[in-house]
Amino acid sequence: MAQRSVNGTARGGDEATTEVLISGGGMVGLTLGIALAGAGVDVVVLEPRDPAASTDAAFDGRSSAIARGTQRLLAALGIWPGMAAAAEPILDIRVSDGRIGSAASRLFLHYGRDERAKEPDEPMGYIVENRAIRTALHARAAEMPTLRFMVPERLTNLERGTGTAPAEATLSNGQHLRARLVVAAEGRGSPLRAAAGIRMTAWDYPQSGIVCTVAHEAPHHGVAHEHFLPAGPFALLPMTDGADGGHRSSLVWTERRTLVPAMLALDDAAFGAELQRRFGDSLGALRPAGRRWSYPLSLMHAERYIDHRLALVGDAAHGIHPITGQGLNLGLRDVAALAETVVEARRLGLDPGEANVLARYQQWRRFDNTVLMITTDGLNRLFSNDLAPLRLARDVGLAAVNRLPPLKRLFMQHAMGLVGDLPRLIRGQAL
């Protein structure tokens, strides 16, 4: 396809110069581009994949959990209206412990209206199909005068230098581009991260996550179910009804890795029966809809998020177990913090790619992400086993949390992405 260049040059800019160059125009990279352009920053986003393909259901049939803080960010950036119709609100979260073939434990944790704190009528979060998020991002990006979204396009070379001079990029079309700051939003296998010699700390788990859309007979009433089975959590998250009017939920099923290939190979009826054995009958008959995906579970964390004129965001900086549904939320919190840091520096006349400016971003985000990764790891270890004493301890623990409203609210605020030193965008404010 022809290369699209939504054009515009900011003050002092020209075709060969930009302030921020973002490698990777997926959900995280493009949101960053929109956030920066919204504050008047001249920004170029490079995306190697064809945008038409990336919004096709066959390309990515997955859904994402959008925490409240993330929804505020998307609303503040004018992205939310383009996806609101495809977003299913989460009104209740039910956490329970169980075994295959038996009912969920009665000692379960229930999050509803009471924990929604100050705004009881606001949902705790939303489930949205990734392709709906991408479609909304593409539409918003096209409206930003200082954003050049170049697709399909990639970096073929980058010289970041060591001093005052800007980074020098070469694109696959042969164009040269100078930038004060380069951002790697390239996902887990980030080539820019590798080229910068930034090492990853990784934990591997003997589990994989199976992800797909599930059609079910009964409506979900906005309830998200997180059912802890011996092999790991089994979650059904409420989605909007399908085009055919059928009820749908998004499945995130953590299973022993050795079992996953066999599960993926089952026909729809047999796969649906496996789901039913684990989930029970509360939503009526379950059957998979569309493609099934699987991901080996691992946690990865970059030893640092920055280098000379380089910042890592999203999965390029940290890959997280899907147990908490926080992957995209964490990535967009990186976006909020980096955008605020860059815009703040620029308003003080500072070079946005300068080490002291980037150090602030790293300090802001790395601690928060570390805490979440340790928590996630702990949750997985606590729940992914069938030892009787641990089962008892976690059941008692869930029940205890359920009976302590302040603690329960704190957990909820965490899951909603509303705890910590919140960037302005996460609070729903403009940069």
Partner 1 sequence: MGESSRTRTGASVDPAEVARFAAMADDWWAPDGKFAPLHRLNPVRLRFIRDRAAAHFGRTAAAGQPLEGLRILDIGCGGGLLCEPLARLGAKITGIDAGAEASAVAQRHAEESGLSIDYRHASAEEMAATGERFDVVLAMELVEHVADPAAFIATAASLLNDGGVMILATLNRTPKAFLQAIVGAEYVLSWLPRGTHNWRKFLRPSELAAMARGGGLSVEEIVGLTYNPLTGTWRIGRDTTVNYMLRASKP
Q: How far is the CB of 80 from partner 1 (least distance, A)?
A: 24
Encoded amino acid at 323, one letter: I
For residue 46, list its beta bridge partners. Answer: 23, 150
Evaluated on CA atoms 22, 28, 30, 35, the torsion sign reads: negative
Element (H, E) at 307: strand 306-307
Residue carrying the six token digits 């169980």 = 98
- Say if CB 132 and CB 121 are below 8 A apart: no
User: In terms of Cα–Cα distance, which of 185, 135, 196, 207 is closest to 162?
Assistant: 196
Q: Does 348 bind partner 1 (CB under 8 A)?
A: yes
Q: In this complex, which beta carbon is closest to partner 1, that of residue 62 or of residue 346?
A: 346
Q: How far is the CB of 305 from partner 1 (least distance, A)?
A: 15
Q: Give dist(CA 330, CA 412) in Å, integer.
A: 16
Q: Does 363 bind partner 1 (CB under 8 A)?
A: yes
Q: Does 345 bind partner 1 (CB under 8 A)?
A: yes
Q: How far is the CB of 346 from partner 1 (least distance, A)?
A: 8
Q: Give dist(CA 169, CA 160) in Å, integer.
A: 8
Q: Does 11 bind partner 1 (CB under 8 A)?
A: yes
Site residues (CB under 8 A) for partner 1, limited to 153-212: 163-165
Q: Does 351 bind partner 1 (CB under 8 A)?
A: yes
Q: How far is the CB of 355 from partner 1 (least distance, A)?
A: 4
In sequence order, what are the residues at sequence separation of 6 or more whose Cβ sits closer than 8 angstroms to the Cβ of residue 51?
4, 25, 134, 138, 151
Q: Give dist(CA 302, CA 320) in Å, integer.
A: 12
Find the binder of partner 1 among 58, 102, 243, 356 (CB under 8 A). Answer: 356
Print the binding letters for residues 112-151 with partner 1: x by CB under 8 A, - otherwise.
----------------------------------------
Q: How far is the CB of 353 from partner 1 (least distance, A)?
A: 11
Element (H, E) at 335: helix 327-347
Tell me which stretch binds partner 1 (CB under 8 A): 27-35, 188-196, 291-299, 344-352: 344-352
Q: Does 344 bind partner 1 (CB under 8 A)?
A: yes
Q: In this complex, which beta carbon is closest to partner 1, that of residue 27 or of residue 167?
A: 167
Find the binder of partner 1 among 57, 103, 355, 404 (CB under 8 A). Answer: 355
In 112-187 the beta strands, taken as DSSP E runs, fall at: 125-129, 147-150, 155-159, 167-171, 176-184
Find the binder of partner 1 among 199, 221, 277, 347 (CB under 8 A). Answer: 347
User: In terms of Cα–Cα distance, which of 294, 356, 281, 280 is closest to 322?
Assistant: 294
Site residues (CB under 8 A) for partner 1, limited to 242-281: none
Q: How far is the CB of 421 from partner 1 (least distance, A)?
A: 9
Q: Does 359 bind partner 1 (CB under 8 A)?
A: yes
Q: Does 40 bind partner 1 (CB under 8 A)?
A: yes
Q: How far is the CB of 214 from partner 1 (least distance, A)?
A: 45
Measured in residues, the chain has a length of: 431
- Say if CB 264 and CB 294 are below 8 A apart: yes
Token duo for residue 100: 């295959």
Q: In this complex, which beta carbon is closest to partner 1, that of residue 215 or of residue 343?
A: 343
Q: Does 350 bind partner 1 (CB under 8 A)?
A: yes
Token duo for residue 361: 């971003």
- Say if CB 328 and CB 24 are below 8 A apart: no
Phi, psi of 103 (to 5 degrees): -65, 155
Tell me which stretch binds partner 1 (CB under 8 A): 77-85, 197-205, 351-359, 409-417: 351-359
Number of residues that bind partner 1 (CB under 8 A): 18
Q: How far is the CB of 359 from partner 1 (least distance, A)?
A: 8
Q: How far is the CB of 196 from partner 1 (least distance, A)?
A: 16
Tell me which stretch binds partner 1 (CB under 8 A): 83-91, 113-121, 347-355, 398-406: 347-355
- Say if CB 189 and CB 298 are below 8 A apart: no
Q: Give dist(CA 300, CA 297) in Å, integer.
A: 10
Residues near partner 1 (CB under 8 A): 11, 40, 163-165, 344-345, 347-351, 354-356, 359-360, 363
